[in-house]
Structure 1
Amino acid sequence: MISSDVPNPVEHFGLSKEQKEQLDLLSNYHKQNLITDKDFEKYKQNIIDGTFKLDEEDDDPFHLMSSSSSDDDEEDDTNKDNNNHSSSTANNINSSNGKNEKSLEKMDETTNNAPSTSSSSVGDGVAAGNVGVTSAVAVAQIQVDVEQVDFVRKDSSGTIGIATKTLDLEIMEAKPVDVSKKYLENYGFDLSDDDGNVRDMKELFEKHKDFNAKKIESQRKRWQEFIQKHNIGAKGFTTLEEYEQQRIFHFIEESNDFKKLVRKGIPMEYRAVMWYIISGANYQYLTHKDIFDNLKEKALAIPIDEREKDKNFVCICKDVDRTFPTHPFFKDPHNQIALRNVLYLYSLHNPKVGYCQSMNFLAGIMLVVGMNVQQAFFTLDRIIDRYMPPDLYDSSMEGVYSESFVLQHLCLDRIPKVTNHLVKLESNLFIMVSPNWFLCLYLTSFPVETALRIWDCFIHEKYKILYRIGMTYLTLLEKELMKCNDFQAAFMLLKDSSQKMFDCRQLIKKSFGIRNFSKKKILSYRELFRTQKK
């Protein structure tokens, strides 16, 4: 049974490496009764705000950061605004109800009895030898692994942040980046792991690039024939009559040939239009055209001061800066505004969900592959409303706990040996590993070509592919995982190996080799989760 007190796996999205180390150190002092509960809460909030810094070697480690800093603190002061900007996101996750989920103190309470794990400070700021906080530290690690950079744009009036006074809702088309030529490698995404090992990652990429490219090239002709046969335009179907005349929906749902075509990959130049059509977003637009225009009018009618107090809008503006920040597409202010428009209009459309961090990556990749704002809006709505498990993006995060529970039990059924080994190392491992898998649909876990191939299948066959990929990935690493003697080693192996998973063909093929995998089984485990929570 997974306790309802399990720490929120995405509470500390957006905190810098140093801030997470500081919170970990503060937690240790608290456990040693060096500070009171009241001071613990005060200092914790100050660390999150960027106004407090602990010094482990100082006789009095509890000192406020002074306004005049030494040479050693110059870098911290230079980046102070960036740290403040980053840390505030943790307080706005799932901001549809404006609540923080659980504090680090609560996380530590649930993990005081966790076995101590020696760890190195690799990539995520995990301090070595912090007894009793293994799970809490690991949960703090579960974040979207992107560089936290603030975005600014300059014009004649000076520097203007993305949260401008005007909405710029006239920006409905993104400016394309030619990923097929200048940014051929990895579709414009960085070829490096968390430690910046470009050479090693490039060698792995090159090993599979030509093979993957040949496979996609052989697919291109088949897709061209399909698109011509069904008279599919660059923007999909523009009238309901065209859509119904082609009977495209029935073909997509019922044709095994089409299923095989999708599983072998959609060429990059066709992904936008095919995701738009396959997901049902094109049909939804054709039957509900007024929704999008009405939302734009509603957004424009909201007073500026009211919009600037909207926690969804504030969080969206901050997260736009952090969406694939090294990709050339999002270095253009125009495209950042396009992404903000998708997310803000969606938050108005679905106030129950509002905005949850990770949605920025879903909408962001839609724009990167070539969708416009309207297409991305309707596709995002279809994915969250019709594809994803219930409550996955809810502020309670119940959906994340539920899906982690389901994945763990599916793995116990299919690969019991390695699953039992991992759970023995850390009972909450699946809760710590799977949030990025489910919330970001593997976008921030695997190399982009692998993630996009998963998305091709996901758009057509819906959420079951997410479990298939998770189980297959653990199966591929089973021998190495069985050699891990502590949680930290297993966690880092899972994290590091995912970034090197360039062999998307093997991953996809093996995932569909899992037989007798029914929706009924998934639903039964969700019901078991709800029953055990009562």
Structure 2
Amino acid sequence: MPEGEKLVNYYSCSYWHNRLPRQGWLYLSVNYLCFYSFLLGKETRVIVRWRDVTLLDCTNALIFPDSIRVSTRDHEHYFSMLLRKKETYELMEQLANMAMKQLINDEEFSEDKDLLTKVSKKVPKKPSFLKRDLDARAHSDMYRSKFRLPLREKLDGSTSCSLWAPYKKAYVSGTLYISLNYICFDSKIANLVSVVCPLRTVQSVERVDSVKGNLIVKNALFICTSHVNSSNTFLFIDVGDRDFVINKLSEMLGKSIPTKNALPDNMVLGSARLGSRSNSVTDDKCDDMSLSSLSVGSISDNNGSSFSETLEAETTTVPLRSLYIGFEDDMDEGDCEKRKEALWDRHWSEYGRGVTMYRTVETLRLVLEGLPDTVRREVWLIFSGAINEQATNPGYYEQAVIAGLKRGGPANDEIERDLHRSLPEHPAFQSERGISALRRVLCAYAWRNPAIGYCQAMNIVASVLLVYCNEEESFWLLAALSERLLPDYYNTRVVGALVDQGVLEDLILDHMPGLHTKLSDLGIISLISLSWFLTLFLSVMPFEAAVHVVDCFFYDGARVVFMVALAILDVNKEALENCDDEGEAMMVLADYLGCINTPKCRYGKRKSSVCEDKQAESSELRTMVNIIDIIEAAYRGFGFITNVAIERLRVKHRLRVVQTLEDTVMRNTLRTVGPDCILSEEDLKELVIYVRGEQILGGEDKEVRQRNNSGNPLTQEGYALGYETFRQLFLAVSPWGQGDRSESLVTSIFNMLDVDGTHVLSFRSVAWLYGVLCSGDFARKLRLFYYLHLAFPPSLEDVDKPLKNEENAAEVEEEAAVEAEEYFDYLDEDYGKGKVDLDISDDQDAETSGTSPKKEYCDDFTGLATIHSRDYRLFEQRFLPTMTQEQFINMWRTVYSFFAMETNQEIFTSLSRVGTLLLQIGEVGRRVKEIASRSNSESQARLPGEQSSENVFQLEEMRGALEECLGSGNCTTEESEQALQSTEESPDSENTSAVPCDTGKNGKMLHNVIKNDTGEEKDKNTEECEQNASVDESDCGSSEHRHASMSQPSSQEWSISFEQFLANVANEEKLVDFFERPVKLAQEVQKLRKRHAVCTSVSGSVASTPS
């Protein structure tokens, strides 16, 4: 196991191997499932990564009785004879679900350190702190889901008690839950009564030892909440460990921070706290308290006017419905709407109003009958839990709107495209006012949650929210919908909708098996589920009919969507079973959904995919269906489906969906990256598996990768490498990863590929790099090696890692390439004729340009221009500038480091010979340029007739200088001749730099220039040299123009060209063997994964590749 892996728990069990049980121990860690057995001298080991699990369920087959089945892409593992099977399965399910969420959101597991400091009582001992942590997470998830609380809320504890119900004058037995910001109660009988009491609304908490006229009250706790116009009181009796609970509440109230900005008081949303926090908990006994005094506070009768005035004063906008009251008044609402409003007024007077109301079965009955438009926003906010987020984050929406509109980007462009497609039949979105409000809400949420940004169907849901709520309320409702009620629905891969599609298939199979067979044969389950679920039926039903489904959804959660879907399919069961193809089946459903209505439909019906004449004909033949009847049929026929059961089915199908998406993304990545590198498909697969595995395990670079990766993890952009992952891979696999300069090379290559300055490398660039390093083409390797030391030379001192902020990153990049920058400063601006320029968009963000390579690094000569545009094949054809002596010495030190552990002296002889010769070639070029420069300056003062007589003298002087320079070394005559061949400059040429001729062709170059006695012969040979020296003339322009552009500021500077470097290395067999040695990347990566304990020893699960 990796060093940082932590054990959660272990259990005794049997593992079925070759249909024989082997008794041993099952070990469950955060990232792995392991089994070990040593029986009769035979050892069995199994290692399965949770991220490789595709199915997890309990089986009771004849061959594997009472077992837990764990399936991967390649194997099925059965574990039986578990003493605590339920506990084991739930823990395995939780760990597998965590692994899938890591794949979806690129999250990393982190322990809750707060558990170490919490005071606990009567908590059973756990085998490990991680087991306690995971149990606490599971309880907190249940707590948040049951009471619709914010995602950051953590359950602190629970205890049994009874709640006094003033509306029925009786006690209700249940459980009291306490967290940092909330006190909640839920009855033992499902849906009988529940209470959510935010601590921001609590005025006092008191002990109660007796109640007048009631002797059964013991260990009582009295909580009083207060608002401006309303107050609720709660009496809990038989509170377990009451004193401990009192101390906990005192601690929580002390930590709770009052919210400054209050919401409309008549809504009783609990946004303002009254009274001193120091007096919140008292020890006074309330001996004279009577049960008749424990009643629900009164509500202001003047609801309409008070509501309107407060809303206009505290919000910038109002619900769009209120802007079209005149339009609605033209319609006959009848007595139904008024009767519903009267029922809700009576209900609030009896059960309380606002977030602290008693939530009973009577509340559910009123919701099923349909909400009046005047109370819909309040009910949505309270029962979705969005009101808690709004109350605790005053001013957040305004900041999000400003930031979202200012930022722009692809999400905002998609929003603009869909604005006019959002509920076009409603008059509110036929004007700019409604469109602008929708734009602000969607842009604000795209800024809040960049991982989602914007997804199609969000515009339809948000537009419906804006009809009944103001902008800020719609924003928080959209956040609750996307983040808690329908998790992972609205992202680029709609993972949540695909998961719920599998859940619906299971439910149809369980309750309508015959219809499931028919629908599976037709293949329409996937077609109907996405449109139904993503828009909550708003896109397939008439607007006001679908709003009733939304009412029930916000009250009762995600199970409502499945119940309504099952009810619709059940009603049309016979017609669907008689369909011959999917088109006919879709027409049956479209006709039925188009006939759904409410007693009043103001804004018309949403058009289905069926043509209008067919709809008109169907409307005449079929009677209209009331949405209330459908909802009642859903609750009556499928009300037994609970949110807990839905969540369990989601875990099951999330494994399959996420693994399928992973396989799809991997195949797409291999298909798109393959043409840009020379790696085989097997090598690319192994590289992808390793990179993805390291991402899931986390590491020091995960924070940097998460901050810079704006794409979805389940996309090609998700396969990105941070510095630590790249470093481990380079040192273990690359042939350049050996020697004392390997760390320096890692940093230099990382900076070279990190052209965007994000400290994250794309998989495409890494694949191209290893295609060059692991191939047998030594010319490509030397080209990359030469360019690396030219533009990003490794540091001669201790290497620092790339820094994590943009400013320091820019300093590292500038320091790493300062020598190349000084060299390229002299390049003429007009040289780029005939070259491929960088394609930089005009609307490039300022921040992006700040982290991009500097202009001089993007020059086409450096090759970085093609790296910046990710055109790696073009990079290999670019012309490279000459190298200075300091850069060459640095490069040759790196070459020596490759052979630090070598014992063969022939290699060191070759290194010395090539290094000495290159140094002498550079020195020859420097002396030639020095003489030629002096001669040119003197020739300008002479008459034209005198220049011809001086040519012979100048050539003899230059030849003597060259022979003197080479004669002082230890080179052989052959090597001296080769050095002379590399200096083919004429003394009167305007360009005095060494021409990078192609020395790779048989190692022969023209050198007659220094042997000619006449200017005519000199010119002839000079022209021949220039023709042989042209490299990529179609890209680089004429040879004469290139020479002029590449001349350095100081004409006497030492330099060598890439062609000279390549030709001299090619003459040494030992060096060529090293650079030509190919690397079997797939095998090396597999070895690296084995060292990281990623594969199994005997029968475990390995990281499989998609078929």
1:314 paired to 2:422: no
Q: Within 5 Å, which residues of 2 pair with 1:91-490? A: 172-173=317-318, 176=321, 182-183=327-328, 215-227=336-348, 248-251=354-357, 254-299=359-404, 302=406, 307=408, 310-369=409-468, 371-388=469-486, 390-426=487-523, 429-490=524-585
- Choose between structure 1 and 2: higher helix proportion: 1
- Is the Cα contact below 8 Å between 1:425 and 1:486 reproduced in 2? yes
1:457 and 1:222 map into 2 onto residues whose CA distance is 17
2:529 and 2:583 map into 1 onto residues whose CA distance is 16
Task: Select which of 639, 647, 656 maps to 1:523.
Answer: 647
1:348 and 1:366 map into 2 onto residues whose CA distance is 19
1:504 paired to 2:602: no
Name the CA shift for 1:275/1:518 in 2 (closer, same or farther; >3 Å). closer
Name the CA shift for 1:173/1:521 in 2 (closer, same or farther; >3 Å). closer
1:281 and 1:527 map into 2 onto residues whose CA distance is 25
* Displacement after TM superposition at 1:343 (Å): 0.6
1:373 and 1:172 map into 2 onto residues whose CA distance is 6
TM-score (norm 1): 0.55
1:415 and 1:215 map into 2 onto residues whose CA distance is 36
2:421 and 2:565 map into 1 onto residues whose CA distance is 25
Q: Which amino acid aligns with 1:423?
A: S
Q: Which amino acid aligns with 1:469?
A: V
- Is the Cα contact below 8 Å between 2:454 and 2:491 reproduced in 1? no
Q: Relative to structure 2, which stretch is displaced further, 465-474 or 349-358? A: 349-358
1:175 and 1:531 map into 2 onto residues whose CA distance is 41
Q: Which has the higher contact order (CA 8 A, sep 6+)?
A: 1
2:639 and 2:384 map into 1 onto residues whose CA distance is 25
2:506 and 2:548 map into 1 onto residues whose CA distance is 25
Q: Which amino acid aligns with 2:345?
A: Q
- Is the Cα contact below 8 Å between 1:402 and 1:529 reproduced in 2? yes
1:222 and 1:367 map into 2 onto residues whose CA distance is 25
Name the CA shift for 1:476/1:509 in 2 (closer, same or farther; >3 Å). same
1:439 and 1:171 map into 2 onto residues whose CA distance is 29
* Displacement after TM superposition at 1:216 (Å): 4.3
* Displacement after TM superposition at 1:316 (Å): 0.9
Name the CA shift for 1:283/1:526 in 2 (closer, same or farther; >3 Å). closer
Q: Relative to structure 2, which stretch is displaced further, 213-222 or 508-517? A: 213-222
1:405 and 1:363 map into 2 onto residues whose CA distance is 26
* Displacement after TM superposition at 1:296 (Å): 3.6
Q: Within 5 Å, which residues of 2 pair with 1:50-65? A: none
- 2:590 maps to what in 1? 495
Q: Relative to structure 2, which stretch is displaced further, 445-454 or 288-297? A: 288-297
- Is the Cα contact below 8 Å between 1:449 and 1:504 reproduced in 2? no
1:414 and 1:472 map into 2 onto residues whose CA distance is 11
- Is the Cα contact below 8 Å between 2:320 and 2:466 reproduced in 1? no
1:274 and 1:529 map into 2 onto residues whose CA distance is 32
Root mean square deviation, CA, Å? 2.8
1:296 and 1:423 map into 2 onto residues whose CA distance is 45
SS, match of residue 484 in structure 1: coil
Name the CA shift for 1:347/1:178 in 2 (closer, same or farther; >3 Å). closer
1:525 and 1:403 map into 2 onto residues whose CA distance is 8
SS, match of residue 492 in structure 2: coil
Q: Which amino acid aligns with 1:354?
A: G
* Displacement after TM superposition at 1:483 (Å): 1.5
- Is the Cα contact below 8 Å between 1:285 and 1:378 reproduced in 2? yes
Q: Deviations over 1:291-334 (max 9, x none)?
A: 2233244346x3xxx52xx1111111121111112321111101
* Displacement after TM superposition at 1:282 (Å): 2.1
Q: Deviations over 1:371-392 (max 9, x none)?
A: 111111111111111211x311
SS, match of residue 443 in structure 1: coil
Aligned residues: 317
Instruction: Give the structure with higher Rg (CA).
Output: 2
* Displacement after TM superposition at 1:215 (Å): 4.8
2:414 and 2:525 map into 1 onto residues whose CA distance is 27
TM-score (norm 2): 0.27
Name the CA shift for 1:313/1:494 in 2 (closer, same or farther; >3 Å). same
Q: Deviations over 1:113-153 (max 9, x none)?
A: xxxxxxxxxxxxxxxxxxxxxxxxxxxxxxxxxxxxxxxxx
Alignment gaps of 5+ in structure 1: 1-95, 97-169, 188-208, 231-245
- Is the Cα contact below 8 Å between 2:558 and 2:643 reproduced in 1? no
SS, match of residue 357 in structure 2: helix
- Is the Cα contact below 8 Å between 1:323 and 1:364 reproduced in 2? yes
1:506 and 1:176 map into 2 onto residues whose CA distance is 26
1:228 and 1:181 map into 2 onto residues whose CA distance is 30
* Displacement after TM superposition at 1:171 (Å): 6.1
- 1:34 maps to what in 2? none
- Is the Cα contact below 8 Å between 2:404 and 2:446 reproduced in 1? no
Name the CA shift for 1:345/1:517 in 2 (closer, same or farther; >3 Å). same
SS, match of residue 506 in structure 2: helix
Q: Which amino acid aligns with 1:351?
A: P
* Displacement after TM superposition at 1:177 (Å): 5.5
2:453 and 2:513 map into 1 onto residues whose CA distance is 38
- Is the Cα contact below 8 Å between 1:450 and 1:504 reproduced in 2? yes
1:439 and 1:520 map into 2 onto residues whose CA distance is 21
Q: Deviations over 1:235-294 (max 9, x none)?
A: xxxxxxxxxxx6743535x41211111121111122123212322222221111142233
Name the CA shift for 1:520/1:324 in 2 (closer, same or farther; >3 Å). closer
Q: Which amino acid aligns with 1:367?
A: L
Q: Deviations over 1:82-126 (max 9, x none)?
A: xxxxxxxxxxxxxx9xxxxxxxxxxxxxxxxxxxxxxxxxxxxxx
* Displacement after TM superposition at 1:217 (Å): 4.1
* Displacement after TM superposition at 1:412 (Å): 1.0
Q: Relative to structure 2, which stretch is displaced further, 175-184 or 476-485? A: 175-184
* Displacement after TM superposition at 1:472 (Å): 0.2
1:248 and 1:501 map into 2 onto residues whose CA distance is 32
Q: Which amino acid aligns with 2:555?
A: H
1:250 and 1:171 map into 2 onto residues whose CA distance is 27
1:333 and 1:520 map into 2 onto residues whose CA distance is 43
Name the CA shift for 1:215/1:481 in 2 (closer, same or farther; >3 Å). farther
1:392 and 1:343 map into 2 onto residues whose CA distance is 16
Fraction of identical pairs, as percent: 25
- Is the Cα contact below 8 Å between 1:343 and 1:355 reproduced in 2? yes
Q: Deviations over 1:363-414 (max 9, x none)?
A: 1011112x111111111111111211x3111212222211111111101111
- Is the Cα contact below 8 Å between 2:564 and 2:630 reproduced in 1? yes
Q: Which amino acid aligns with 2:502?
A: F
